[in-house]
Structure 1
Amino acid sequence: MTGYDFYLDKCLLPIAPGRLQLSIKNENKTIKLMNEGQVNLLKTAGLTDIEFECIIPQIEYPFAVYTSGFCGAEYYLAYFERLKTRQRPFQFIVTRRMPDGGALFGTNMKVSMEDYRITENAEEGFDLSVKINLKQYREYGTKSVSIKGAVANTAGTNTISYTVNVEQTRSRESAPDIGKMRNYKVHRKNDTLFNIAKETYGDGSKYSLLSIANKDTVNDPFNIEQGTVLKIPAV
C-alpha cells in the first residue's frame, strides 16, 4: 500500500503489505428472560486480531524502504522469530500518508506475535511471502485483599482470627506515569523515538513509553520533525 509504513517493534517492513485486516472481537452475551424475550448484555470488546501478509525481498528493489540499508530475508526471519520466542508484547505501528504527504490516522497498538507462515513460491522469484497474525495485548495486574474476621471451631471453644491485606493493584509491566510528565522539544532533524528514549531515559528500548504518551502527536516514530514538542512520562 503506497503511503503506508508498517513497524513491528523497531523493525520497518521493507514493502508495506497490500492488505491489512483488524478484527474487533465481540464479547456481548444474549440471554433469555422469562416473559421478556431476549436481551443483550453489553461487555467490553474482546482482543483485536490483526492479520496481514508481507513480501520480504531477497534482492534490493528501488521501491523497498530500509532504515539502515538493505537487509536480506534472513534478518527479517530472525527478527520475527525473536518477537515470537521472547514472549513479550511489542508495539505494532502503521503510519498512513496521502499522496501529497498529508498525514492520515495512525495505528499504534501493543500486541503479541501469535503465529506466522513463511511461503516460497516460484511465481514470486526468490522473494518470500510471510503471513503474520498478531493479537492485541492488554496490561493486567493482581490485587491483594485484606479482611479481618474470626472463625469458631465446631465445638465452639476456640476462635481463629485471620487477616488479609488489600494492596494497590500492580501492572504486570510498568506503564508511563501520565501524572508526571515533562515536555521535550525535538532538536534534531528526522529524529526517532528510539534515539529520544536513549537520550531521555538512557535506554532506547523504552521508546514504547514515548509512543503511547504521544500517540496523537507522532505519526511516524522514525521520522519526527525538528521542533516537535513531546511528552516524556516519568518511569
Structure 2
Amino acid sequence: MYYMYLGPTFQVPIPPETMRTKIKNRNKEISLIDGDINIIKDPGLTEIRFKILLPNSSYPFNQSILNKSGRAAEYLDQLEILKQSQDPFRFIVVRMTDGGRLLNMDNIQCTLEDYTIDEDAREGYDFYVDIELKQYREWGAKKITIDKDGNGNTVAKTESTRSTIGHAGCPGIVAAKEGDTLQTICLKNFGMKLAYSNLPIVKKLNKIAVPAILATGQKIQMYKTKINKDGIPGGVLY
C-alpha cells in the first residue's frame, strides 16, 4: 500500500493502480565527419503522470488520513487552487508493506501541468482525473541594493525577484471580477497554504452553491468578525 500527497492539504484518497515517471533526457547528438558523438548533459525535468479516482461514495479502500469523508467536488477545488496558484508544491509518495514497514518515499517539488476530468454514468457518480506533474527547480534573479550603514560603510543587500503568493491581510469584502471563481478569490486573498481550508468557510458564509460560478461585481464576504461581550469586534474567524 502507499499514500500520495499533492501539497500540504491534498491527500489522494484512493491511490492509483499505476504511475509513470519519465526521466527526461537532454543529451545532444552531433554528427561529425568521422561519425556521431553524444554530448552528455544534466537530466531534464522529471515528468509524472497518473490517473486517480475521486469518490462521491464511501469506499472501504479509501486510504485518506486527512479527509476520509471528502467528496469529488472538494478535491477538484483543491486541484484548481494548485493550478491557479502558479506555485510549486511537494509531491510525496510513501510506499509501505501491508505490515507497515516503510519501503521508500518520493518527495519532489512539482508543478501541476495538466489535469483532465472524466465522468462516466456507467461508473456511478465518481470522477476520474488524469494528472500530469513536472519537477520544479528553484531559480530567480537577485536584486542588489547598494547602501551605506551607520558608519558610512558601503553595504550590499540582495533579495530574490521571485516571490510566492501569500498575503498577511485580507479585506473583509471582495468584489468578483470577470472570470473570477471562489477558488481564485480565496487564492488571491489567503495564499495557497490557506486557500483550501478557508474556501468552504467563505462558501458557507456567502451561501454560494457553485463556487466556480460568480457574477461580475458580486460582493464576497471573506470572513466574519468575532464580537466580544462589549459588542466590539475582537478578532477574525477563519
Q: Give TM class, smaller chain.
A: 0.5 to 0.7
How much identity, in percent, do the aligned residues show?
A: 40
Aligned-pair distance for 1:76?
Answer: 0.3
* Secondary structure of 1:78's aligned partner: helix
Aligned to 1:86: 85
Aligned to 2:36: 38
* Partner Cα distance (1:45, 1:20) in 2: 20
Measured at CA, do residues 71 and 171 of structure 1 come closer, stay the same or move farther in structure 2, by a change above 3 Å?
same
Which of 46, 59, 62 aligns to 2:60? It is 62
| AA in 2 matched with 1:63 | F
Which blocks of at least 5 consecutive residues in structure 1 are unaligned? 146-165, 175-202, 206-235
For residues 11-40 of structure 1, the C-alpha deviation after alignment (integer angstroms, 9 at most, x for no partner) is 1111011111010111000112233x1111
* Secondary structure of 1:105's aligned partner: strand
Measured at CA, do residues 144 and 31 of structure 1 come closer, stay the same or move farther in structure 2, by a change above 3 Å?
farther
Is the 8 Å Cα contact of residues 143 and 167 (structure 1) preserved in structure 2? no
Paired residues in the alignment total 154
Aligned-pair distance for 1:65?
Answer: 2.5
Is the 8 Å Cα contact of residues 13 and 68 (structure 2) preserved in structure 1? no
* Partner Cα distance (1:63, 1:72) in 2: 14
Which blocks of at least 5 consecutive residues in structure 2 are unaligned? 145-155, 165-192, 196-238
TM-score when scaled to structure 1?
Answer: 0.60
* Partner Cα distance (1:126, 1:94) in 2: 27
User: Root-mean-square deviation (CA), in Å?
Assistant: 2.6
* Partner Cα distance (1:122, 1:24) in 2: 36
Aligned to 2:125: 126
Aligned to 2:45: 47
Is the 8 Å Cα contact of residues 118 and 128 (structure 2) preserved in structure 1? yes
Measured at CA, do residues 143 and 32 of structure 1 come closer, stay the same or move farther in structure 2, by a change above 3 Å?
farther
* Secondary structure of 2:48's aligned partner: strand
* Partner Cα distance (2:50, 2:135) in 1: 14
Aligned to 2:227: none
TM-score when scaled to structure 2?
Answer: 0.59
